[in-house]
Amino acid sequence: MSRIEQPQPAPSSEQAGPRLETARLILRSWHPSDIPALLEGLNDFSVAKWLAFVPHPYTLEDAGRWVEHCKSAAGKPGSPAGYEFAIELKSERKAIGGVSLRQISPVHGTAGGGIWLSARYHGHGYGSEAFGEKIRFAFEDLQLRRLDNGFFKGNGASLAMQQRFGYKVEGERRQAYRCVADGELKDEVLTGLIKDEWKKG
Ligand SMILES: CC(C)(COP(=O)(O)OP(=O)(O)OC[C@H]1O[C@@H](n2cnc3c(N)ncnc32)[C@H](O)[C@@H]1OP(=O)(O)O)[C@@H](O)C(=O)NCCC(=O)NCCS
């Protein structure tokens, strides 16, 4: 379960994902040169308050640890348990956020994951574009059949973004997290998408 938990250390068997491309975006692995973009995006309470494990303030050390973690996980052999993608905006050749596919279970055909974008890039459809490509990758390339997600209660942007792809609200976990950014207890709304109900956007 990881939908709102970015960024956090992933299991050691996780690898960086392949390079995926949409009209305006490239989904690719994280590099040290992305550290300024990580700081711009995550050292911002308006973003961190919707994520479970992002400290506030978010420091250079936090960003460096994240990139290092992704790099070392990518070098590990074996079938990946997840993918951590930087979302690069082609027109600016810079990372504007992150999207993940985590806890991949080939046995059950399921996975979780999450997404965030730097605040100045909200509201331009980039979130939907990246999230949609993540879903396509999961269902078409990895042949999964169900995706789990969720969001802190009150996150209208996340709900709207998920609903456009067919995610349904499936329940609620009261006080499921103590958000690291503000120390507050947060209720989580649980969502899920079955491949048969996937709306391609
Ligand atoms: C959630 C997030 C990734 C969405 O990315 P985005 O690029 O801003 O979203 P889009 O422009 O693709 O819009 C997606 C939908 O959300 C709607 N939306 C955008 N901002 C909204 C808001 N503040 N309240 C309600 N709906 C909103 C859009 O109208 C659109 O709906 P539509 O498809 O019906 O038109 C982005 O807001 C974000 O990073 N937020 C902070 C971190 C976060 O909440 N991550 C998710 C944790 S579960």
**Residues 170-188, mean pLDDT to the nearest whole number:** 98
188 domain residue, yes or no: no
What's the 156 CA to ligand 1 centre distance in angstroms?
A: 7
DSSP the chain: --TT--S-PPPTT-EE---EE-SSEEEE---GGGHHHHHHHHS-HHHHTTSSS--SSPPHHHHHHHHHHHHHHHT--S--S-EEEEEEETTTTEEEEEEEEEEEETTTTEEE--EEE-GGGTTSSHHHHHHHHHHHIIIIIS---EEEEEEETT-HHHHHHHHTTT-EEEEEEEEEEE-TTT--EEEEEEEEEEGGG----
Q: In the prediction, which pLDDT does 81 show? A: 87
Atom 5 of ligand 1, nearest CA residue: 127
80 domain residue, yes or no: yes
**Residues 174-181, mean pLDDT to the nearest whole number:** 98
Atom 15 of ligand 1, nearest CA residue: 161
Rounded (10°) CA dihedral 26, 135, 138, 113: 90
What's the 153 CA to ligand 1 centre distance in angstroms?
A: 14
CATH number at residue 138: 3.40.630.30
Count of domains forming the chain: 1
What's the 79 CA to ligand 1 centre distance in angstroms?
A: 32
Structural domain including 20 reads: 15-146
Query: Which of 161, 188, 190 to mutate for ligand 1's pocket (most ligand atoms within 8 Å of CB)?
Result: 161
12 or 28, which is more confident: 28
How many angstroms separate the CA atoms of 193 and 191, rounded?
7
pLDDT 10s digits, 48-96? 999 999 999 999 999 999 999 988 876 676 667 899 999 999 999 999 9
182 domain residue, yes or no: no
Q: In the prediction, which pLDDT does 15 show? A: 44
pTM of the entire predicted model:
0.92
What percentage of the chain carries pLDDT values higher than 70?
A: 89
